[in-house]
Amino acid sequence: MNLPFAVTLGPGSSRADHTGAWRTERAVYVQRTAPCGNACPAGEDVRSWLYDAESGGAGYEAAWRRIMETNPFPAVCGRVCYHPCETACNRGHLDEAVGINSVERFLGDEALAQGWRVEATAAPTGRRVLVVGSGPAGLSAAYHLARRGHAVTVRESAPVAGGMMRYGIPRYRLPREVLDAEIRRLLALGIQLEVDTPVTDLDAVMEAEGWDAAFLAVGAQLGHRTYLPAASAARILDAVSLLHGLEEGERPLLGRRVAVYGGGNTAVDAARTARRLGASDAVVVYRRTRERMPAHAEEVADAEAEGVVFHWLSTIERVEPEGLVIERMELDEDGFPRLTGRTERLAADSVVLALGQDTDLSFLGEASALRVSDGTIDTDRAFATTRPGVFAGGDVVAGERSVTIAIGHGRRAAESIDDWLAGRPPAPEADVDLAPYEALNTWYFQDADRAHRERLELARRSSTFDEVVHGLDRETALYEARRCLSCGSCFSCDNCYAMCPDDAVIKLGPPGEYVIDLDYCKGCGLCVQECPAGAIVMVPEET
Amino acid sequence: MTTTPLRLYQVGTFAAGNRLLDPSERTVQSSADRASSITSGHRACRGCGEALAARVVMDAAMRATGGRLVTVNATGCLEVFSTPFPESAWQVPWLHSLFGNAAAVASGVAAAMRATGRDDVRVLAQAGDGGTVDIGLGCLSGMFERNDDVLFVCYDNQGYMNTGVQRSGATPAGASTANTRPVGSGIGNAFGTGKNLPRIAMAHEIPYVATATIADLHDLEAKVTSAMSRRGARYLHVLVPCPLGWGSDASDTVRVARLATQSGLFPVFEAEHGTVTQVTPIRRRVPVEEYLRLQTRFRHLFTEPGRPDVVAALQAQADRDIARYGLDPEEES
């Protein structure tokens, strides 16, 4: 070394000193599962598409495409999904959950406005799959099967596709232009739709037409009936038929005073529909309390705003020509409702029963090898029935029922059918490493109140079937997407890189890409503590 | 349609960087081309607040001066851990002074620059709280009085740490150190002692005095940048938690600094020519106890039977400063 006059030793660099040797624990970047995506019945990777959407502009299309990897109905779900993602959202602990559902709707509407489309991801396989039923489960399965290159035919008994999305959900929650557009886009993948074509004998169809596999998604179309002592003049209908008939252009005669019996979302839909059909009194009679009602709280609040009245802890004892006799209930110590013997009268011109829905499995025929229990088709984890090559999902199988759940069934069944056609064993279920709220460092997130969607003015909500809930505009959708805390996933805030006292975090350049220089990392854990997203953990060194 | 004006969101405001922010709004520390003025391999303790602060301050000063910067470093932790012979972690021209004369040496460097007509090369002096408030106070006061063109940065870890955690004039009341144990009727530093150097500096009516912590890199860097945009004597006082001397977890260094500000125990402000011109408001106010409990130097306040009187006195101190500087926006309104 060429040293200046009188200097005998040049400066060495501290980098010769590998202080990483002090370490007993090391920091490791991880990608944990966010609660939102974990809770999504359709299986959407919510955090990832929110991340895309946060960029705005081209990010919207990327976000939409990511949703479409799992769910072909973002505009529908952005309206009718009961968003368990938001219930699970960690931001709920901080202020209020991210409005995931409203961002999804924005992306879905944006896609329809821009005409974005998706293509198949695989070359044609030459395999033919029959889907029975064109509701959310059937269409979702058809979509995923078609994208995997299979030739799919959907048979539908009704004159128009959509199932419960069309015949069960009123227009004021789901405008038909939106539903039609998403179905059209889906069918454009080359899916054959045969409407007005009920499958009446599955065995015969399978044998005669040589399908490689079938997916049964016929739904639960029958209103559950119960015995009510009723005078002959009493007008009793069921909610499913009411909503179905309405969609086919009927205008049922409900009278001025309508009582709805039940506590689910369908009961609320029926009551809100009755108001729109001119009923001055729409009363929901339910035997438990508001807290125990299965209907979604937001639906109940909307209904109340529209003048629907709820009679909690009440059961219908009998129906008389002039109205109902209601018996009051009370909750016992275990929270179960029991009869009190106290009755009261409720004037009503008609009674709508909304007590749940049953399946119609007559198309399975007598000789079917399919096992059925309690009116639903038995399936395994992969949605396979007991008959090889035949799968089932949606409302026709046991379990909770919703549009989003059905869409999830359709996707997972399509994956199983694809596996089955290829002779692959089903993929094992992955372990979930959930990012808890406690893993976040919320100091770094700015206070940002949730943006709520506006609603149609009340006057129009009792006289028209116009959509009640409005969408978000571009700016607000962007704002709402950016409220995401990115639980368990790096979003390149640079805190780890900026705050390492040992300059031992290397920023590689592309967003989210850092490495820890283990020659110098002393394992202090500062980066773990200051990571807003909980995406770094400490792992003990081997000794 | 609902319209909400798009404000800074997510971590844009409070984290070091963000992929969606304009690079000019991100911190220097988030940039891949930062100077990293103090590089890896130094021998600071795990989670050292001073090592972090020194890099943040120096990198910001390097950016502000276009890399034309000389630094003078008093004896102390920073000097000891960064330059064990024959190695150095410094990536900038660096001079080591005695414990007490960093301000004088820096004044000399500034004078030399002036004498050689190099007004482009700037001078930054660094010292710990011992070298600033105790041993170096005379030289520093002289530097202030002469208004020499130097930014003097004090990394305040509230004690003599590498020599074994002895009390300094910056050690807070109630804290236990190696040589405060037997003082008075109980454990811990006595009330009514110590020196508030930012206020002493302000009393000199120099062009710029500021306080900051490593809990807010945007704020710390902005103050360095502001200081380097001015001429004359400037003083920056940076709170740097010390896991060793404070008995806090190595991973909690930034958190402890944050709680010092959010409790009101460490007011963050700027002053020009002796007058406070800007304060950093408290965002989420916490009781001092939340700050104290993370540090074993205050453990004696909480072990049975406890010293609620001392905690209350510290809370009163925080409340006084919150009122004095107007740190709590809610209290203001």
Domains and CATH numbers, chain B: 33-332 (3.40.50.970)
Identity of the residue in A512, A517, A530 whose CB atom sits nearest the CB atom of B40:
A517
pLDDT at B246: 98
The answer, for B63 touching chain A at a CB cutoff of 8 Å, is no
| pLDDT band with cut points at 50, 70 and 90 for residue A408 | very high
With a cut of 70, say whether residue B183 has pLDDT above it.
Answer: no
Identity of the residue in B3, B51, B84 whose CB atom sits nearest the CB atom of A501:
B51
Q: Which residues contact A353 (CB under 8 A, 6 or more apart)?
A: A223, A224, A225, A226, A236, A237, A238, A239, A261, A262
> For residue A125, is it left (φ>0), alpha (ψ between -120 and 50) or beta?
alpha
pLDDT at B331: 76
**B-chain residues near A14 (CB < 8 A):** 39-43, 82-84, 87-89
Mean pLDDT value across residues A493-521 = 94
Q: Are B207 and B230 in contact (CB under 8 A)?
A: yes
B86-112 pLDDT tens trace: 899 999 999 999 999 999 999 999 999
Between positions 197 and 226 of B, the ones with CB within 8 A of A are: 214, 217
**B-chain residues near A498 (CB < 8 A):** 16-17, 27, 29-30, 56, 217
Burial string for A109-136 (b: 16+ CB within 10 Å, else e) reads bbbbeeeeebeeeeeebebbbbbbbbbb
Residue (of B198, B201, B197, B181) closest to B189 by Cα position: B181
A394-403, A504-513, A514-523: segment of lowest average pLDDT: A504-513
CA distance A250 to A23: 75
With a cut of 90, say whether residue A85 has pLDDT above it.
Answer: yes
pLDDT at A1: 60
Cα Rg for chain A, rounded, in angstroms? 28
Identity of the residue in B87, B214, B258 whose CB atom sits nearest the CB atom of A443:
B258
Contact A530 B49 (CB under 8 A): no
A292-296, B23-27, B220-224: segment of lowest average pLDDT: B23-27
Mean pLDDT value across residues A348-372 = 88
Residue (of A248, A109, A131, A246) closest to A182 by Cα position: A109
Mean pLDDT value across residues A113-126 = 96
Between positions 22 and 61 of B, the ones with CB within 8 A of A are: 26-27, 29-30, 32, 36, 38-44, 46-49, 51-52, 55-56
**A-chain residues near B86 (CB < 8 A):** 9-12
Contact B1 A452 (CB under 8 A): no
With a cut of 70, say whether residue B182 has pLDDT above it.
Answer: no
A226-356: CATH architecture: 3-Layer(bba) Sandwich (3.50)
DSSP assignment letter at A33: B
**What is the three-class DSSP state of A244?**
helix
| pLDDT band with cut points at 50, 70 and 90 for residue A321 | confident
pLDDT at B10: 60
Measured between alpha carbons, how far is residue B243 from residues A26, B189, B297 in Å?
18, 18, 10
Identity of the residue in A483, A522, A530 whose CB atom sits nearest the CB atom of B9:
A483
Identity of the residue in B14, B19, B56 whose CB atom sits nearest the CB atom of A444:
B14
| pLDDT band with cut points at 50, 70 and 90 for residue B13 | low
**A-chain residues near B55 (CB < 8 A):** 501, 503
**What is the three-class DSSP state of B154?**
strand
Interface mutation target, options A8, A102, A443, A521, chain B, most CBs of B under 10 Å: A443
With a cut of 50, say whether residue A502 has pLDDT above it.
Answer: yes
A373-387, A488-502, B174-188: segment of lowest average pLDDT: B174-188
Residue (of A314, A318, A311, A319) closest to A340 by Cα position: A314
* Percentages of chain A per state (helix, strand, coil), in multiples of 5: 35, 20, 50
Between positions 268 and 307 of B, the ones with CB within 8 A of A are: 284
Mean pLDDT value across residues B289-317 = 95
Output A510 or B76, whichever has higher pLDDT: B76
pLDDT at B9: 56
**B-chain residues near A491 (CB < 8 A):** 10-11, 18-19
With a cut of 60, say whether residue B197 has pLDDT above it.
Answer: yes
pLDDT at A447: 84
A35-116+445-481: CATH architecture: Orthogonal Bundle (1.10)
Between positions 150 and 169 of B, the ones with CB within 8 A of A are: none
Contact A503 B39 (CB under 8 A): yes
For B19, the closest chain A residue by CA position comes to A492
A73-77, A178-182, A434-438, A508-512: segment of lowest average pLDDT: A508-512
DSSP assignment letter at B284: S
Contact A479 B4 (CB under 8 A): yes
The answer, for B322 touching chain A at a CB cutoff of 8 Å, is no
Q: Checking DSSP bridges between strand A236-238 and strand A222-223, what pairing results, if any?
A: unpaired
With a cut of 80, say whether residue B231 has pLDDT above it.
Answer: yes
Mean pLDDT value across residues A61-68 = 98
Residue B101 Cα, gap to closest chain A Cα (Å) = 23
A505-518 pLDDT tens trace: 999 988 778 999 99
pLDDT at B212: 98
pLDDT at B1: 45
Residue (of A168, A479, A180) closest to B8 by Cα position: A479
| pLDDT band with cut points at 50, 70 and 90 for residue B4 | very low
Interface mutation target, options A495, A507, A516, A520, chain B, most CBs of B under 10 Å: A495
CA distance B215 to B237: 14
| pLDDT band with cut points at 50, 70 and 90 for residue B276 | very high
Residue B295 Cα, gap to closest chain A Cα (Å) = 16
Q: Are B150 and B74 in contact (CB under 8 A)?
A: no
| CATH 3.50.50.60, applies to A128-221+359-422 | yes
With a cut of 70, say whether residue A476 has pLDDT above it.
Answer: yes
| pLDDT band with cut points at 50, 70 and 90 for residue B23 | confident
CA distance B8 to A52: 17
- Count how many Cα atoms sit within 13 Å of the Cα of residue A476 in the half-sphere of its side chain: 18
Residue B249 Cα, gap to closest chain A Cα (Å) = 8
Q: What is the CATH number of domain A14-31+490-540?
A: 3.30.70.20
State what percent of residues in chain A have pLDDT above 90. Answer: 82
With a cut of 60, say whether residue B12 has pLDDT above it.
Answer: no
pLDDT at B21: 82
Residue (of A144, A119, A118) closest to A131 by Cα position: A144
Interface mutation target, options A8, A9, A13, A516, chain B, most CBs of B under 10 Å: A13
pLDDT at B68: 96
Residue A276 Cα, gap to closest chain B Cα (Å) = 23
- Asked if the domains A14-31+490-540 and A128-221+359-422 are classified in one and the same CATH topology, the answer is no
State what percent of residues in chain A have pLDDT above 70. Answer: 99
Give the angle A216-A217-A220 at the CA atoms, nearest 5°. Answer: 125
Q: Are A444 and A492 in contact (CB under 8 A)?
A: no
B90, β-bridge pairs: B38
Residue type at B279 in one-letter notation: V
Mean pLDDT value across residues B128-142 = 97
Interface size A-B, in CB pairs within 8 Å, comes to 197
CA distance A195 to A308: 36
**B-chain residues near A451 (CB < 8 A):** 2, 4
Instruction: Taking the CA atoms of A237, A239, A244 and A248 in sequence, report the sign of the dihedral they define.
Output: positive
Q: Please, where are the H alpha helices in A352-457?
A: 403-422
pLDDT at B283: 93
**B-chain residues near A91 (CB < 8 A):** none
The answer, for B87 touching chain A at a CB cutoff of 8 Å, is yes
C-beta atoms surrounding B329 within 10 Å: 12
pLDDT at B179: 87
CA distance A137 to A399: 14
Domain residue extents for chain A: 14-31+490-540, 35-116+445-481, 128-221+359-422, 226-356
Q: Checking DSSP bridges between strand A236-238 and strand A372-373, what pairing results, if any?
A: unpaired
B70, β-bridge pairs: B123
A462-466, B208-212, B268-272: segment of lowest average pLDDT: A462-466
Q: Checking DSSP bridges between strand A25-29 and strand A536-540, what pairing results, if any?
A: antiparallel
With a cut of 60, say whether residue A323 has pLDDT above it.
Answer: yes
H or E, element range at A185: helix A176-187
The answer, for A500 touching chain B at a CB cutoff of 8 Å, is yes
